[in-house]
Amino acid sequence: MELKIGEKIRELRKRDGRTQEEVASALGVSNQAVSKWESQNGYPDMETVPALANYFGVTIDELFGYESERDLKIRDICDRADKILNRREEMEECILLLREAAQEFPSNADILVRLGYALNYEGWRKYGGRSFTDKNHPNATPDTAYNRGNPYWEEAAAVFERTLGMDLKTEDRETVLPILLNIYSERGEVDKAEKLAKTTPTMRNAREVLLTMVWDENVERRHGECLLALLDLFWSQLVSATAGRTDIPEDEKIRLYQAAADLYKILIPDGNYLYCHAQLCQIYQFITNDQQLKWYLEKGGEAGVSEEAMDSFVKCLDHLDAYDAAKGRGKVRFTAPLFKDVEWDSGTERPETDYSGLLSVLRDLTQGLCPEFIDRLESEPRIRKWLEGQKQVPQ
């Protein structure tokens, strides 16, 4: 039987967000040794194996990749569930599969987390989250009476609450917390939401920030990673604070969103954005929507096309294409001075491109605001080529 301990070491290191240098330092071996293990060009000494298992918090059997019948069954269930979850379509099949699995393996966090994801998604798909605005609530306020009647969200909240008492993977906990907070908020369970939020560290104590205080040969990389994470957080919070506000005019939203795009350009002046192309693509989606809405309101509801919105939509496509081109190249680095030590594993560390956002922009512009917009789009060769390509993209 072929030993795949190197693959397991890499998997565990990625799980914990550690570098090869950090693993090597903890075990008292060279960086090259860890690199050889992970590339299957060598194996750790038997004296090192117990220390490795202890370092990652696993058994020696787990480190060597030995799986029991139970483990194999759980992995098969999770793989089947992931295929359905990744399609982002109707989730009843996935929910049924995972409910049955949760009865058989009630303490398995991997199964429960996936069940929560499926329930949350199906709750949005079948019921949606209603909200309202009025003069006293310029920001979209959840219609809690309606949202409490969403049985999928009620079950998802119960499932996620169970998982938070388990030994969750870091990435799962970071995903579960905001979803559960959002469910609480949509259902009007503000006290629960605040209590849960207060169990988490402040921004000053976030992992990315604290790591910048570790002064060694990796400090420049950590500062770069922290700044990129803060950029991403700034953009997501800006959208959260403005997108649903009826008291903020479209002009102001466009100005703010353009400022966010400009911030990326200032910090990464050479244009080598790598995975940041995905964030810029999303920024220009919002700019496109608000430019077209502004034009529509100024024209008194008259059908037509905003040339500004067209230009912004082309920028969406440019960044989308650049993001796709950046993927699958293995480990690559930014070249801007602030981030030149930041490495991106373009084959594994970011999800496949989600085209649903751009297609949603098209639906909004062609069905909601301007039925003629699709004709205008198709008259542009650059955009027509992209639209034709979407026939091959799963919707």
What are the backbone dihedrals phi and psi of residue 140, each rounded to the nearest 5 degrees, phi first? -60, 125
Q: What is the pLDDT of residue 352?
A: 43
Cα separation of 348 and 351, whole Å?
8
Three-state SS at 395:
coil
Q: What's 59's domain CATH number?
A: 1.10.260.40
- 237 with 336, same domain: the answer is yes
Of 44-53, 148-157, 297-306, the range with the lowest mean pLDDT is: 297-306
Confidence band (pLDDT; 50, 70, 90) for 376? low
Per-residue pLDDT reduced to its tens digit, 317-353? 889 888 888 888 888 999 999 999 999 988 754 444 4
What span, in angstroms and rounded, lies between the C-alpha atoms of 307 and 294? 12
**Percent of the chain surpassing pLDDT 70:** 84
The DSSP line for 67-104 is: --HHHHHHHHHHHHHHHHHHHTS--HHHHHHHHHHHHH
Q: Are residues 266 and 193 in the same domain?
A: no
Share of the chain above pLDDT 90, in %: 42
Q: How far is CA 105 from the centre of its chain?
A: 27
Helix-strand-coil split of the chain, %, nearest 5: 65, 5, 30
Model pLDDT, residue 295: 84
Query: What is the per-residue pLDDT for 391?
Result: 46
Give me the pLDDT at residue 8, please. 85
Q: To the nearest whole number, what is the mean pLDDT of the chain?
A: 84
| pLDDT at 54 (0 to 100) | 87
CA distances from residue 198 to 84, 167, 175, 203, 204 in whole angstroms, order as listed: 33, 19, 16, 12, 14
Domain boundary among 159, 179, 197: 197
Per-residue pLDDT tens digits for 131-151: 877 776 667 788 999 999 999
Sequence-distant (6+) residues with CB within 8 A of 144 are 186, 187, 188
Residues 221-268 have pLDDT tens digits of 999 999 999 999 999 999 989 987 888 999 999 999 999 999 999 999
Q: Answer whether residue 73 is part of any domain.
A: yes
- The burial of 289, by beta-carbon neighbours within 10 Å (0-12 exposed, 13-18 middle, 19 or more buried), is given as buried
55 and 73 in a single domain? The answer is no
31-69 pLDDT, tens digit each: 888 888 888 888 888 888 888 888 888 788 777 776 667
Query: Which of the four pLDDT bands, split at 50, 70 and 90, describes residue 385?
Result: low
Tell me what pLDDT residue 350 has: 46
Give yes or no: residues 49 and 147 share one domain. Answer: no
Question: Are 192 and 83 members of one domain?
Answer: yes
Same domain for 237 and 379? yes
Q: Are 261 and 284 in contact (CB under 8 A)?
A: yes
Do 190 and 291 fall within a single domain? no
Q: Decide if 324 is inside a domain.
A: yes
Looking up residue 147, the CATH number of its domain turns out to be 1.25.40
Within a 10 A sphere around the Cβ of 178, how many other Cβ atoms?
Answer: 13
Residue 9 pLDDT > 90: no
Range with the largest mean pLDDT of 218-222, 306-310, 315-319, 326-330:
218-222
Q: Which of 22-36, 63-77, 269-283 has the lowest mean pLDDT?
A: 63-77
Q: Can you give the pLDDT at residue 82? A: 93
Query: Do 251 and 388 belong to one domain?
Result: yes
Q: Which residue has the higher pLDDT, 382 or 199?
A: 199
Q: Are 74 and 187 in the same domain?
A: yes
Whether 268 is covered by a domain: the verdict is yes
CA distance 125 to 254: 29
Pairing of strands 343-345, 331-333: antiparallel
- What's the pLDDT score for residue 5? 82
What local confidence, expressed as pLDDT, does residue 272 receive? 95
Residue 209 clears pLDDT 90, i.e. is over it: yes
pLDDT grade, residue 368 (50/70/90)? very low
d(CA 309, CA 374): 13
**pLDDT attached to residue 138:** 67
pLDDT at residue 288 greater than cutoff 70: yes
Which amino acid does the sequence have at 187? R
Say yes or no: 284 and 358 in one domain.
Answer: yes
Same domain, 161 and 234: no
Angle, helices 356-363/276-298, rounded to nearest 10 degrees: 10
Structural domain boundaries, residue 186: 69-197
Query: Which residues are paired to 333 by β-bridges?
Result: 343
**Mean pLDDT (whole number) for 183-202:** 93
Least-confidence region, from 26-30, 108-112, 187-191 = 26-30
Task: Bin 328: left if φ > 0, else alpha if -120 < ψ < 50, else beta.
Answer: left
User: Which residues in 133-167 are b (16+ Cβ under 10 Å) and which e?
Assistant: eeeeeeeeebebebbeebebbbbbbebbebbeeee
The pLDDT of residue 392 is 43
Number of domains in the chain: 3
Q: What is the CB-side half-sphere exposure of residue 221 using CA atoms within 13 A?
A: 11
The burial of 291, by beta-carbon neighbours within 10 Å (0-12 exposed, 13-18 middle, 19 or more buried), is given as buried
